[in-house]
Chains A and B, each alone.
Chain A
Amino acid sequence: MPYNEPNPLEVRILSRRFGMPNSHSIETYLATDGYKALEKASHMTQEEIINEVKVSGLRGRGGAGFPTGMKWSFVPRQSPKPKYIVVNSDEAEPGTCKDRLLVEYDPHQMIEGIIIAGLAVGAQQGYVYIRGEYRYLMDIVDRAIDEAYAHGYLGDNILGKGIKFHLATHNGAGAYECGEESALLESLEGKRGVPRIRPPFPAVAGVYQCPTVLNNVETFCAVPAIIMHGGAYFAGLGTPKNGGTRLFCLSGHINKPGVYELPMGFNLMRMINEVGGGMLNGKKLKAVIPGGSSCPVLKADECDLAMDFDTLAAANSMLGSGGVVIMDEDTCMVKAALRIMRFYAHESCGWCIPCREGTTWLRKLLTRFHEGMGQRSDIVLIGDLARNMLGRTFCPLGDAAALPTISIVEKWEEEFEAHLNGEPCPYEKSSRLVAA
């Protein structure tokens, strides 16, 4: 059984097999139209497949929201080198727990999407990079890959049509940075997960310096539905330029946390109240992280908005990876900023100085501040330090650390002031536990 009850407001396209008996098996998959999209795609040209994905308005579900069809079209048609498909299943953005379910309940949907991507760009080998903590998913995907080989959906003669595509799993070993595409490629090559300078982009020089399509699990999972029902159908589920549905991971102070598949553009307040069952213990909403801890935090009065990439960007935040973290009135925002910064300081790969030094310095400053040893001038300093990291690193981790910090210190300055004068955290006394 899935970990949370479905909600009637969900539009279950990618998650439609969640909860079915043996949903991960190829038998269940085939009995529910599995691998029919691959059959259909085998009659299409490369341009037709890419065009269908472009029409669908599908945008990268890992966080950046780059149009998937366009990304695929960047892969050179003629290449003397082999081409690769790489799946980013290194889900590690705090607040995000959707890829885990997509892989656990419906691995064949992902595999079918990967093979179709292979057809679209002319790749014959794929790798699924799974974070090391998800050991049990390695076993699930390995079994699904074996089933797909046994049924002729992987191998040298797929569907009996001479189509060649091979797929293998690869495990990470505990590094958030490896979720960044170029660091992931380094890690896949057996190196430290340090990002690469771009250009060249992975579409031209990815794994082993060969043309590579690299997308998030959920992005690949959307592909079979797009091919089966058409790009226009998928696009119509969402808002303009934000096609389809996406899996939102609701967590924090709400009554019904869980992973829910909702149309792009679903209103955030409705998500909290109607899908998430409202605030826990009837408390008031204070803040929402809309898409994983890298996103600027929204104040309660900023949350009446459509959850799509463009609306969130217009609100100076990001849709990110779908991790919606809800915080109530008793949450200490200094503590939240500190915990988020502690994470990025731990996960910084150390290559770019603004990130390596900035995150460490900010972690120390915020620790001191939360303990009541801060000075008034630190409030300005925290914002300044964070702003000095923005745009000054080779990968987005520096920005990911800076953006939530800037938003918290700007929007909740009074909470920082409340921590001055050597007083302990004013929120700590109201800290209450579910884990009683």
Chain B
Amino acid sequence: MTFSPEMEARFEKFLAKYPAEHKRSAMIPMLMYAQDEVGSITDELVDEVAKRVGVTPLQVNEVLTYYSMLHRKPMGKYHVQICTNISCLLLGGEELWNRASQKLGIGHKEVTKDGRVSLEDVECIGACSWAPAIQVNFDFYHDVTMAQLEKLIDGLAAGKRPEEITELVKVNS
């Protein structure tokens, strides 16, 4: 299986982090980054990572099914994760979730037909003091209002990139 040169360099860096007899430690980092490039964790990727860290494909599959961020099926190009845990719940996270789900006609971990947007009713993302908070892929958006969320969902569905939806600005640089 071939990866981009950047991904190969990343893999090499990951494998160098751990003692040679514990290459297995690199498995989860490799899966996490490779799934973005491949689109999801395919059987081929499982076999490849197994080979590179020196375990069986079954062992890789056993591990990856435990972690909620490792996806066997592709998520949308823009994976919108709306936190509904306690701090966000108190300030409207659930209403945001309901509106997004209703607008797109998809549920938890489902993808729109065109593959652009997926939704996740996500557990605490560590933005409690700036609730309600969401993540689009790995970017954080804080203190999200219903109006902002609607712009985001409509914009993404209409083919815009998150950067083009100026009502909402990511907080991480």
- Please report A residues at the B interface, Cβ cutoff 8 Å: 3-4, 82, 91-97, 99-100, 104, 127, 131-136, 168, 170-176, 187-194, 208, 249-253, 257-259, 289, 293, 323, 325, 327, 331, 335-336, 339-340, 343, 346-347, 349, 433-436
Q: Do the beta carbons of A173 and B31 come within 8 Å of each other?
A: yes
> Across the two chains, which residue of chain A brings its CB closest to B36?
A135
> A136 to B141, alpha carbons, bound, how many Å?
13
> A92 to B86, alpha carbons, bound, how many Å?
12
Q: Do the beta carbons of B129 and A3 come within 8 Å of each other?
A: yes
> Across the two chains, which residue of chain A brings its CB closest to B22?
A208
Q: Do the beta carbons of B90 and A97 come within 8 Å of each other?
A: no
- 5 interchain pairs, CB-CB under 8 A: A92-B126, A173-B68, A252-B90, A253-B91, A327-B90
Neighbour of B135 across the interface among A4, A133, A191, CB < 8 A: A133
Neighbour of A168 across the interface among B17, B63, B90, B173, CB < 8 A: B17
B102 touches A (CB below 8 Å): no
Neighbour of A189 across the interface among B25, B62, B123, CB < 8 A: B25
Contacting residues, chain A, for B86 (C-beta < 8 A): 94-95, 252, 289, 293, 325, 336, 339-340, 343
> A289 to B128, alpha carbons, bound, how many Å?
13
- Give chain A nearest CB distance to B78 CB in angstroms: 15
B85 touches A (CB below 8 Å): yes
Given contacts A170-B17, A347-B123, contact A339 B89 (CB under 8 A): yes
Q: Do the beta carbons of B145 and A133 come within 8 Å of each other?
A: no
> Across the two chains, which residue of chain B brings its CB closest to A127?
B17
B166 touches A (CB below 8 Å): no
- Give chain B nearest CB distance to A373 CB in angstroms: 19
Q: Do the beta carbons of A174 and B24 come within 8 Å of each other?
A: no
> A44 to B64, alpha carbons, bound, how many Å?
44
> A257 to B139, alpha carbons, bound, how many Å?
21
> Across the two chains, which residue of chain B brings its CB closest to A258?
B129
Contacting residues, chain A, for B22 (C-beta < 8 A): 189-190, 208
Q: Do the beta carbons of B90 and A187 come within 8 Å of each other?
A: no
> A254 to B127, alpha carbons, bound, how many Å?
15
Neighbour of B67 across the interface among A91, A135, A174, CB < 8 A: A174
B80 touches A (CB below 8 Å): no
> A81 to B90, alpha carbons, bound, how many Å?
49
Q: Do the beta carbons of B70 and A433 come within 8 Å of each other?
A: no
B105 touches A (CB below 8 Å): no
Q: Do the beta carbons of B28 and A173 come within 8 Å of each other?
A: yes
B72 touches A (CB below 8 Å): no
Neighbour of B96 across the interface among A95, A97, A339, A435, CB < 8 A: A435
- Please report B residues at the A interface, Cβ cutoff 8 Å: 17, 19, 22, 24-29, 31-32, 53, 55, 62-64, 66-70, 84-87, 89-92, 95-96, 123-132, 135, 138-140, 142, 144-146, 149, 171-173
- Give chain B nearest CB distance to A401 CB in angstroms: 13
Contacting residues, chain A, for B127 (C-beta < 8 A): 97, 100
Contacting residues, chain B, for A434 (C-beta < 8 A): 91-92, 132, 145
> Across the two chains, which residue of chain A brings its CB closest to B93?
A435
Q: Do the beta carbons of B90 and A193 come within 8 Å of each other?
A: no
> Across the two chains, which residue of chain A brings its CB closest to B130?
A3
Contacting residues, chain A, for B146 (C-beta < 8 A): 433, 435-436
> A346 to B87, alpha carbons, bound, how many Å?
17
Given contacts A97-B127, A131-B126, A133-B126, contact A331 B32 (CB under 8 A): no
Given contacts A176-B123, A340-B86, A433-B92, contact A97 B128 (CB under 8 A): yes
- Give chain B nearest CB distance to A202 CB in angstroms: 16
Given contacts A325-B87, A339-B89, contact A251 B67 (CB under 8 A): no
- Give chain A nearest CB distance to B167 CB in angstroms: 13
Given contacts A190-B27, A208-B19, contact A136 B138 (CB under 8 A): yes
Besides the known contacts A127-B17, A193-B67, A343-B86, 14 further A-B residue pairs in the complex with CB atoms under 8 A apart: A3-B171, A92-B126, A95-B87, A97-B128, A133-B69, A170-B17, A176-B124, A190-B24, A249-B128, A251-B87, A252-B90, A257-B131, A289-B86, A323-B128
Q: Do the beta carbons of B67 and A173 come within 8 Å of each other?
A: yes
Q: Do the beta carbons of B24 and A339 come within 8 Å of each other?
A: no
Contacting residues, chain A, for B84 (C-beta < 8 A): 339
- Give chain B nearest CB distance to A326 CB in angstroms: 8
> A325 to B85, alpha carbons, bound, how many Å?
11
Neighbour of A433 across the interface among B19, B95, B125, B171, CB < 8 A: B95
Contacting residues, chain B, for A250 (C-beta < 8 A): 129
> Across the two chains, which residue of chain A brings its CB closest to B172?
A136
Given contacts A133-B69, A193-B66, contact A435 B145 (CB under 8 A): yes
Contacting residues, chain B, for A340 (C-beta < 8 A): 86
> A347 to B8, alpha carbons, bound, how many Å?
32
Contacting residues, chain A, for B90 (C-beta < 8 A): 251-253, 325, 327, 331
Contacting residues, chain A, for B67 (C-beta < 8 A): 132, 172-175, 193
Q: Do the beta carbons of B32 and A173 come within 8 Å of each other?
A: yes
Neighbour of B126 across the interface among A91, A174, A336, A343, CB < 8 A: A91
> Across the two chains, which residue of chain A brings its CB closest to B60?
A190
Contacting residues, chain A, for B126 (C-beta < 8 A): 91-92, 96-97, 99-100, 131, 133-134
| Centre residue among B53, B64, B89, B139 by max chain A CB count within 10 A | B89
| Centre residue among B86, B125, B138 by max chain A CB count within 10 A | B86
- Give chain A nearest CB distance to B141 CB in angstroms: 12
Contacting residues, chain B, for A335 (C-beta < 8 A): 89
Given contacts A133-B126, A133-B135, A347-B123, contact A190 B25 (CB under 8 A): yes
Contacting residues, chain A, for B19 (C-beta < 8 A): 82, 208
- Give chain B nearest CB distance to A62 CB in angstroms: 14
> A100 to B138, alpha carbons, bound, how many Å?
14
